[in-house]
Amino acid sequence: MKINERFYPILATVAVLALLYGYGIYEHRAFSDTYVLGNLLTDNAFLIITAVGMTFVILSGGIDLSVGSMIAFVGVLIAELVTGFGFHPLAAVAVALVIGTAFGAFMGVIVAKFDIQPFIVTLAGMFFLRGICFVINLDSVPIDHPFVGAVGDFKLPLPGRGWLSASALLMLATVVVGILIAHYTRFGRNVYAIGGDRHSAQLLGIPVEHTLIRVYALSGFFSALAGVVFAFYTASAYPLAATGVELDAIAAVVIGGTLLTGGMGFIAGTFFGGMIMGVIQILIAFDGSLNSWWTKIMIGVLLFGFIVLQRVITRSFSGVRAEVQSA
């Protein structure tokens, strides 16, 4: 049975993850312990949640550079509301999610209604949010509340010594919800259509502007949710937190097989892409002889490989379209 070419990138992602994890088990006996898996899911939960939102943006043919600053802003906001104004953490989380979603929608309005490049709009959003962080607080602030401690201590046992944290469970739920939205809703189909060919999508009657606004609102929600996870994970907030996470999220999406030009990709691939980045970090930590910057080198090598693979696939699709049109 011939495999559709659009599945090649995600199959390559799964193969790379399997090889890296298999190598880890072969080289380090402890790597097979579920304790490592639990830590892998917990440590990369906020990144994968961010990358899920980024996947929708890139599928639509856009980009969102504000997600890292949103994570920091949400953390600082929650810390200020809880420690400064006496909010319960859940109330602070609700406020943060509403603001994050609204800010994403605002950027979506500018992108869709004024037809401005998403790179410029979200770059402005990145600087704005990071600046607001420093206006609220210049220093690292602990989030000292019993509820935050209880969430941080929650553990769902796995076979062996491992466990799943609340962050890991929320991340897995987010991935499932992302898959359902992308592949089983009209909104998801519209996102793919817009990323594939915006002009054709308009001719087909797809509400392009409305869909783009919802895409950036969704990205704002997911990045705000990632900020909540990060704040609860560290039990603190810092204005410089999550610097560069927007690039890590884009890397996870691309390694997961989503085309940067939009229209092709899978939410599940983004999950596997984020896991690959986490496995590389753990392998380097287990090795002990390499510094952490080798993680960036390995991710760079993988990005080059997946970009080339994407280019080969898009050229193949272009050739098929040309043959169909000539026929």
pLDDT in tens, 292-314: 778 888 889 888 888 887 777 66
Q: Which residues does 246 contact at the CB level (< 8 Å), separation at least 6?
A: 50, 54, 64, 65, 66, 67, 68, 69, 126
Phi, psi of 290 (to 5 degrees): -110, 145
Q: Which residues does 30 contact at the CB level (< 8 Å), separation at least 6?
A: 36, 286
270-297 pLDDT per residue, tens: 999 999 999 999 998 888 777 777 888 8
Residue of higher predicted confidence among 160 and 217: 217
11-26 pLDDT per residue, tens: 889 999 999 999 999 9
pLDDT at 324: 44
Residue (of 116, 128, 70) closest to 209 by Cα position: 116
How far CA 103 is from CA of 47, 189, 262, 263, in Å, comes to 20, 24, 23, 24
The structural domains of the chain, with segments of one domain joined by +, span 5-318
Q: What is the rounded distance in angstroms from the CA atom of residue 97 to the CA atom of residue 101? A: 6
Say if residues 230 and 152 touch (Cβ distance below 8 Å).
no
Domain 5-318 has CATH 1.10.10: no
Answer yes or no: is pLDDT of 318 > 80.
no
Q: Report, as an integer, the average pLDDT of 184-209.
A: 96
Where do we find the tokens 């406020």? 95
Q: What is the rounded distance in angstroms from the CA atom of residue 57 to the CA atom of residue 125? A: 15
Answer yes or no: is pLDDT of 30 > 50.
yes
Joined together, the tokens standing for residue 224 give 């705000």
Instruction: Tell me, yes or no, if the pTM score tops 0.85.
Output: yes
pLDDT at 323: 52
Q: What is the rounded distance in angstroms from the CA atom of residue 228 to the CA atom of residue 210? A: 27
50-106 pLDDT per residue, tens: 999 999 999 999 999 999 999 999 999 999 999 999 999 999 999 999 999 999 999
Q: Report, as an integer, the average pLDDT of 143-163.
A: 94
Per-chain mean pLDDT for the chain: 92
Q: Which residues does 227 contact at the CB level (< 8 Å), separation at least 6?
A: 46, 70, 71, 72, 73, 74, 75, 78, 96, 100, 242
DSSP string of 17-29?
HHHHHHHHHHH-G
Confidence of residue 317 (pLDDT cuts 50, 70, 90): low
